[in-house]
């Protein structure tokens, strides 16, 4: 009888699992409810309530973020690149529809304009409803939300008009595939000022370094970026639990707002000066 009760309880327990057959791995979270599900013209969006990670945003069955750990990704996609720029005034965010990266960029008072280009407006509207803590900067006077194809948008940007481009994209499949190509990086390089910086999430260094990260860096250099540097950080709900982002520059890449990075005028939960420096240290097995 005890075994029967145990089996029944196990059957009632619900789990969401993101399976990656090519990597032979998966990420599993226990869920208590499906809060929302819809198919947009671009993708399927699901939002769950989990047992221990807060709310969970899933797009096309791939984990985008959870309430519990998204701060790591959003802080590392924004503060290192912004502190590596001498004076970032005009910032474009490609993707980032959940608005977490936008919130972090808006913490920098030196930034005068933030343009976010997200192809699927429903991601942002659902984030405003289910993840309002990520959307606190959406009404900031410096923010402009555009809902269109970022690849086409970047072709129209005046040359030498942006200081920083943050590509907060999904995996390089479907609508995001073109964001990992040399043609897109060429348009980004043209849009950036001479000291401008581009950062893009570059997947798991453990699982995707050869298949995604290195080809991305090669495409960036093909598009006439002079240098690239990757930074590394944990991300528990992404494949392998270890993630990376890659910065590309028309000049060199180094920490230039050193004093501000040591004593930022805003609160962060993961990012700090020591983590900034350490994140750019490349593990030996990734070095050619």
Catalytic residue among 69, 98, 120, 168: 168
pLDDT at 251: 86
Taking only the tens place, the pLDDT of each residue in 75-100 is 999 999 999 999 999 999 999 999 99
The question of whether 168 is a catalytic residue gets the answer yes
Q: What is the pTM of this model?
A: 0.94
DSSP 18-71: EEETTTTEEEEEEEEEEEEEEE-SS-EEEEEEESSS-EEEEETTEEEEETTTHH
Q: How many other CB atoms sit within 10 Å of the CB of residue 3?
A: 7
pLDDT at 12: 60
Residue written as token pair 């993101």: 18
**Reduced to 3 states, what is the DSSP secondary structure of residue 110?**
coil
Closest Cα partner for 116 from 132, 137, 131?
137
Q: Classify the phi-psi angles of 213: left when phi > 0, otherwise alpha if psi is within -120 to 50, otherwise beta.
A: alpha
Taking only the tens place, the pLDDT of each residue in 216-263 is 999 999 999 999 999 999 999 999 999 999 999 988 898 899 999 999
pLDDT at 8: 46
What average pLDDT does the segment 99-124 reach?
Answer: 98
Task: Identify whether the C-beta of residue 137 lies closer than 8 Å to the C-beta of residue 143.
Answer: yes
Domains present along the chain, CATH in parentheses: 2-66 (2.30.140.10), 70-286 (3.40.50.150)
Structure tokens at 44: 């399927």
pLDDT at 192: 97
Instruction: Report the Cα 56 to chain-centroid distance in Å.
Output: 15
pLDDT at 250: 87
How far is residue 186 from each of residues 62, 165, 177, 231, measured CA to CA in Å? 28, 13, 15, 22
């Amino acid at each position: 009888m005890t075994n029967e009760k145990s089996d029944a309880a196990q059957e009632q327990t619900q789990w969401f699992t993101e399976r990656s057959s090519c990597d032979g791995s998966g990420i599993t979270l226990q869920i208590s409810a499906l809060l929302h599900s819809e198919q947009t013209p671009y993708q399927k969006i699901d939002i769950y309530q989990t047992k221990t990670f807060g709310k969970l945003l899933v797009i096309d069955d791939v984990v985008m973020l959870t309430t519990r750990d998204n701060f790591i990704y959003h802080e590392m996609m924004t503060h290192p690149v912004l502190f590596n720029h001498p004076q970032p005034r005009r910032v474009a965010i490609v993707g980032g529809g959940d608005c977490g990266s936008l919130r972090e960029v808006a913490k920098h008072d030196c930034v005068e304009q933030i343009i976010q280009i997200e192809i699927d407006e429903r991601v942002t509207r659902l984030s405003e409803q289910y993840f309002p803590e990520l959307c606190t900067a959406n009404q900031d006077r410096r923010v402009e939300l555009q809902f269109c194809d970022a690849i086409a948008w970047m072709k129209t940007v005046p040359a030498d008009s942006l200081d920083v481009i943050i590509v907060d994209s999904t995996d390089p499949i479907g609508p995001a595939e073109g964001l990992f190509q040399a043609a897109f990086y060429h348009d980004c390089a043209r849009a950036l000022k001479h000291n401008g910086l581009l950062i893009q999430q570059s997947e798991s260094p453990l699982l995707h370094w050869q298949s995604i990260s290195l080809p991305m860096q090669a495409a960036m250099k093909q598009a006439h970026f002079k240098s690239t540097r990757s930074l590394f950080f944990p991300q528990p709900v992404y494949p392998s639990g270890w993630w990376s982002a890659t910065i590309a520059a028309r000049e060199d890449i180094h920490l230039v707002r050193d004093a501000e990075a040591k004593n930022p005028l805003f609160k962060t939960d993961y990012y700090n000066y020591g983590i900034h420096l350490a994140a750019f240290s490349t593990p030996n097995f990734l070095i050619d």
